[in-house]
Amino acid sequence: MRNFLRFNGIAVVLTLFLCIGQSAYGDTGYELWLNYKPVTDQKLLQSYMDYCKNIHFADSRYDKAIRDELDIALDKMLGVSVVEADKGEASIRMKIVRQKKLGQEGYHISSRDGRLTIEANGDAGLLYGTYHLIRLMQCGESLDDVDITEVPKIDFRDLNHWDNLSGSIERGYAGRSLWKWDELPDKIDPRYRDYARANASIGINGTVLNNVNASSKMLDREYLEKVAALADIFREYNIKVYLSANFAAPMKMSSTPNDAKRGGGVGQLDTADPMDPEVQQWWKDKADEIYELIPDFGGFLVKANSEGMPGPQDYKRTHADGANMLAKALKPHGGIVMWRTFVYNDTSVDPDRVKRAYKEFKPFDGQFDDNVILQTKNGPLDFHPSEPVLPIFGGMEHTPLQPELQITQEYLGQSTYLVYLVPMWRKFFDFDTWCKGEGSTVAKIAEGKVFKQKFTAIAGVANTGDDENWTRHHFAQANWYAFGRLAWDPMTDTEQITREWIKSTWTTDSAAVKVIEEMMMPTWECFVASQSPYGLGFTTRPQDHYTAGFKSRVNKEWKVNATGIGSDRTTAGTDYVSQYLEPNRSIFNNIDSCPEYLLLTFHFAPWDHVMKSGATLRSAFFDGLKKTMQVNARNRELWSRVKSAIDPERYEDVIERLDKEARDARKFYEEADSFFREASK
């Protein structure tokens, strides 16, 4: 970051850290979309300088963060520093106004007669409004006659970090954890503030610091003090910290200091039964301890009775019993429990894995406390490249649901493939559940517009690491950015998000922007066609979720023979379709009306089934296996067209990624083509 000190009216720049993202060799990508570049259009430059010549701050709790960001942005884009002025003289005025419709985080930006105003009902709105103003200038937009009102559609907008205390990251493909636990709380890495800046700029207001496969040590006093140090930084940017909690923590770690004060001594309990009074008291004391250190702590994320993690079912209790026990401990402090619905351990629930989450949670609809929300993956399998929307969305009328999207590309090429995820997320948000008639989309459910609920939330599994550019692949930054923008408003236009990111990250050159957009948009559909055609299911090796693994998946995840391919989940098969409401149930059940991108999820389809294109499934299937190779070759050529508009270091980094993608995509294709030709005779 840069702080600016003024002596005798002369701005003297002191570089406190290495200039963010810059090195002797060029642009590393560290700045992400806060990559403030000099404005070259002279007319716009003069206009921006006129509007930004002086600023009146509103004396809000985020004034320092606002001023610091404006200092950086105005210096880099306009070559000027922040100058404060009285409200009557300022060219930019920030105001706290009484407008309940803006909530605590919304804002209104308007300009008139050469002056610009950012108004907000809550202090955080001024922070978000400032980032929006900066984004307008980054994207080369006029500030004349601006009239913009923005209010977040979802209350809690969180990143989930699957980071371990060892520094490793589960499903992390960009280096090691950002959190240096061995250095905290005494040493504060400057990168923590840059992380907070990046998230605040796209509206993210919460972060879960540790893996859902949680270590009980995370709740130990030693680590809570480290977490408190991070919370002190993130608080300056309206970001709350949350922790993943191990449900068996009372059995795995020492009791809290409060236990000793009560005369109970320090020691481990012999149970984590949520109905046990000592266990309930342990969690209440632990919550008190956390809030003593972190007054604005957000709450717990819990993975229970899933993939070997402990949970209430270990004691013949329900998910509601477990979640409510934690909720009661947090409620006096205003905390929430985010209870994950990703459960499939018990095969006795149903032989078909995709049915189990719905069957485990549907019976408890309405039994969760009002500060519990069920965090639910977008699909029923496991962040698969292409899945139907999990039918819990629309199926739980009395329990709030929190969509969980995966930004890190676990089954989508990780940080090697260029795969832009907004088209996939758009399909998810636009899906109509029909739970309250036509128009009951997932987006409206997530926004709390379909069912009455106390609060709303959304989570994205982060793709960050300590690589210099945060995400290893420069284009993977787009998915982090896009998640934040969609979390703010799930209906934000795809083209708007894409072009914002390109202009803020790479260049405002109109021809280059168009080319880069052409590169990004088809990548998800092409990847699906090549690696999981028509919603087939898992095709990668269980060990790495990346290389071809057809032999380990066939006849387990799906079937293939000379007759056809897919899984029969119709009423004549596993009857998964019956978890959906009409008309979706009938649409999915009929092979002729089933959306083709989900054809093999719901049907064991004959190879000679005629697709909408007129081609047979066999022909379309094998043609699709080539798609990633084809889009990669196309993107290599498109990228060469923008060479003059991109800095050399990042240009070459992308070339390296595209070349590795080409090699790996060809190898995957060759194995896929060989396997399916042999399997289908």
- Give per-residue pLDDT as tens, 633-678: 999 999 999 999 999 999 999 999 999 999 999 999 999 999 999 9
Q: Is the pLDDT of residue 265 over 90?
A: no
17 inside domain: no
Order of strands across the sheet that contains 147-150 = 55-56, 92-96, 115-120, 107-112, 147-150
Confidence band for 11, pLDDT divided at 50, 70 and 90: very low
Which pLDDT value is given to residue 32? 98
Summarize pLDDT for 126-149 with one digit per residue, the tens. Answer: 999 999 999 999 999 999 999 999
Q: Which of 232, 236, 278, 382 is catalytic?
A: 382
Q: Does 594 lie in the same domain as 460? A: no
Give the CATH number, domain containing residue 69: 3.30.379.10
- Could you tell me if 127 and 162 lie in one domain? no
- Per-residue confidence (pLDDT) for residue 353, from 0 to 100: 96
User: Final residue of a domain: which of 150, 172, 197?
Assistant: 150
Residues 196 and 135 grouped into a single domain: no
528 and 488 fall within a common domain: no
Query: How far, in Å, CA of 1 to CA of 17, rounded?
Result: 6
Tokens of 273: 């039964």
515 within some domain: no
- 351 compared with 19, residue with greater pLDDT: 351
27, part of any domain? no
Q: In Å, how far are 4, 63, 65, 408, 410 from 123, measured between CA atoms?
A: 23, 9, 11, 32, 37
Residue 321: both structure tokens together: 């019993």
Q: Which residue in the list 105, 259, 321, 410 is annotated as catalytic?
A: 410
- The domain boundary, picked from 120, 150, 180, lies at 150
Q: Are residues 653 and 638 in the same domain?
A: yes
Q: Is the pLDDT assigned to residue 116 strictly greater than 80? A: yes
What the block records as the tokens of 15 is 């570089």
Note whether 296 and 336 are same-domain residues.
Answer: yes
Q: Which two tokens stand for residue 173?
A: 């493909």
CB within 8 A of 161, min separation 6: which ones?
Answer: 169, 177, 178, 179, 207, 208, 209, 210, 211, 462, 464
Q: Which residues are registered as beta bridge partners of 458?
A: 157
Q: Is 307 a catalytic residue?
A: yes
Q: So what's the pLDDT on residue 21?
A: 40
Mean pLDDT over residues 24-36, rounded? 86
The number of domains in the chain is 3
| Three state DSSP letters for 430-485 | HCECCECECCCEHHHHHCCCCCCCCCCEEEEECCCCCCCCCCCCHHHHHHHHHHHH
Query: Residue 253: what pLDDT?
Result: 78
Average pLDDT score, the chain: 94
Do 75 and 218 share a domain, yes or no?
no
Residue 135 phi/psi, 5-degree rounding, is -65, -40
pLDDT of 23 reads 37
Query: Choosing from 50, 84, 307, 397, which is the catalytic residue?
Result: 307
| Phi and psi, residue 337, nearest 5° | -115, 125
Residue 224 in any domain: the answer is yes
In this prediction, residues 62-81 reach a mean pLDDT of 98
Predicted confidence at residue 12, as pLDDT, reads 30
Q: How far apart are CA 207 and CA 240, in angstroms?
A: 6
Range of the domain at 566: 524-679
Neighbours of 146 (CB within 10 A): 18
Using one digit for the tens of pLDDT, what is the confidence trace for 430-487? 999 999 999 999 999 999 999 999 999 999 999 999 999 999 999 999 999 999 999 9
Confidence class for position 304, pLDDT limits 50, 70, 90: very high
Average pLDDT over residues 575-585: 98
Boundary (domain end) residue, out of 117, 150, 183: 150
The pLDDT of residue 264: 37
In a domain, 129, yes or no: yes
Answer yes or no: is 14 within a domain. Answer: no
Q: Could you tell me if 128 and 270 lie in one domain? A: no
Nearest to 73 by CA among 137, 141, 143, 146: 137
Does 263 score more than 50 pLDDT? no
On whether both 170 and 146 belong to a single domain, the answer is no
- Give the per-residue pLDDT at 17: 36
Is 312 a residue whose pLDDT tops 80? yes
Residues 6+ apart with CB under 8 A from 431: 389, 393, 441, 442
The answer to whether position 24 is within a domain reads no
**What pLDDT is recorded for position 2?**
35
Find the helix packing angle between 63-78 and 123-138, rounded to 10°: 10
Same domain, 140 and 162: no
Q: In this structure, are 206 and 286 located in the same domain? A: yes
Residue 622: which CATH number? 3.90.1330.10
Position 496 in a domain: yes
For residues 539 and 658, membership in a common domain is answered with yes
Work out the burial of residue 335: count CB atoms within 10 Å of its CB; fewer than 13 is exposed, 13-18 middle, 19 or more buried: buried
Tokens 């009980």 sit on residue: 216
What's the pLDDT at 267?
56
pLDDT of residue 240: 98
Mean pLDDT of all residues in 413-439: 98
pLDDT in tens, 230-247: 999 999 999 999 999 999
